Amino acid sequence: MPKIVHLIAAARPNFMKIAPLYHALKADEGYEPRIIHTGQHYDANMSDDFFTDLMLPKPDYHLGVGSGTHAEQTGGVMMGYEKIVLEEERPDLLVVVGDVNPTVACAMVGTKLHIPVAHLEAGLRSGDRSMPEEINRLATDAICDVLWTPSPDADEHLRHEGHPDERIVRVGNIMMDSFELMSGKIDAAASPEKYGVVDGEYGVVTLHRPSNVDDEATLRLLVDQLKQAAQKLPLVFLVHPRTKGRLEAFGLYDELNAAEGITLGEPVSYVPFMSLVKSAKMAITDSGGLQEETTYLGIPCLTLRPNTERPITITEGTNRLVTPENLMLEIDDVLAGNWSKGTKPDMWDGSTAGRVLQSMNSLLGV
């Protein structure tokens, strides 16, 4: 009998992480993958279109949890997923990815019901416990049976926390598998043309973290810096719903929309977004995944955060941590060519899903 594997998807980066693994499992007669969509991102641009882009079928189960406080999301996912396992289907393996609330929620359900649980993208640490994602990462890794890591620093974090070597399996970065899987469609999407910008002569902006958008003074400073930057380089700013709400509340949205050189747009699905990123001169972001993708593509990335759980993108890649106050100075560095060209870290090669499958075979005896 094929082994049933539950793949948990909640936020947009999760979809890119489960897609290559889903396709690898589907092609193997030893497995029956199931997609559990918790519904954390619930509008079309932030969930359903990603399934289409990544050639994923309709989810087998949809919890429809939606937004809410951390407690509401975590509790809602735990209750919804537990019901599936107890009343519908008990998997042979549960795979959680990333660091969102449903990641730790489903890991807790699986562990308490004695289902083997594997964490894909384990071991990432920022050292900043004020970030809810850091708490989710620590708690998830503490209870999972297998920890699939993307990089050597992740291995070391886990060893430092006391995890035995037999639980730690470095598999590489599965986000790169998604990029290679969709590279043909990404090239064909021609997103720069659709936004009226020229290949290699614009920047991409994404911002959503509370530290950048919830405080009026900080957000106003960022708007001023982006307006200055747009006088030197056109910017395409895909505005997260949270960020748009704050911009409107602080009376900044119309000001930004009217600024010369800035094009505002809504979040888009994976293929058009990566088409836009691939041809950009730089990315300005507070995202986690974009730090990795720009390193893979050799594109300067200015990350508006005091720390990162992906330090390898700084030590080996093209990423640099910046502050709102010095953003313009860092942009000038990119324009002057004063930026690391970076290298692709080991195992960021588009073959991570195959290594995960090998580890899964050993775990389940397939």
With respect to residue 341, please indicate whether it lies within any of the assigned structural domains.
Answer: no
The per-residue pLDDT for range 295-353, each reduced to its tens digit, is 999 999 999 999 999 999 999 999 999 999 999 999 999 999 999 999 999 999 999 99
Q: Based on the domain organization, do 112 and 213 belong to the same domain?
A: no
| Number of domains observed in the structure of the chain | 2
Q: Based on the domain organization, do 198 and 328 belong to the same domain?
A: yes
Spot the catalytic one: 23, 163, 208, 240. Answer: 208
Q: Based on the domain organization, do 163 and 25 belong to the same domain?
A: yes
Q: Based on the domain organization, do 257 and 166 belong to the same domain?
A: no
Q: Based on the domain organization, do 149 and 196 belong to the same domain?
A: no
pLDDT value for 13: 80
Q: Based on the domain organization, do 9 and 126 belong to the same domain?
A: yes
pTM of the model: 0.92
Cα→Cα distances 271→176, 192, 198, 267, 268, Å: 13, 12, 18, 12, 8
Tell me if residue 208 is catalytic: yes
pLDDT value for 80: 96
The per-residue pLDDT for range 193-226, each reduced to its tens digit, is 999 999 999 999 999 999 999 999 999 999 999 9
Kindly give the pairing relationship between strand 93-97 and strand 117-120.
parallel
Supply angle C-alpha 290, 135, 42, rounded to 5.
55
Q: Based on the domain organization, do 149 and 130 belong to the same domain?
A: yes
Residues 6+ apart with CB under 8 A from 34: 4, 5, 6, 7, 60, 61, 89, 91
State the Cα–Cα distance between residues 140 and 110, nearest whole angstrom.
11
Q: Based on the domain organization, do 161 and 193 belong to the same domain?
A: no
Q: Based on the domain organization, do 277 and 359 belong to the same domain?
A: no
Q: Based on the domain organization, do 190 and 314 belong to the same domain?
A: yes
Q: Tell me which residue range forms the domain holding 118.
A: 3-173+348-364
The CATH code of the domain that includes 96 is 3.40.50.2000
With respect to residue 340, please indicate whether it lies within any of the assigned structural domains.
Answer: no
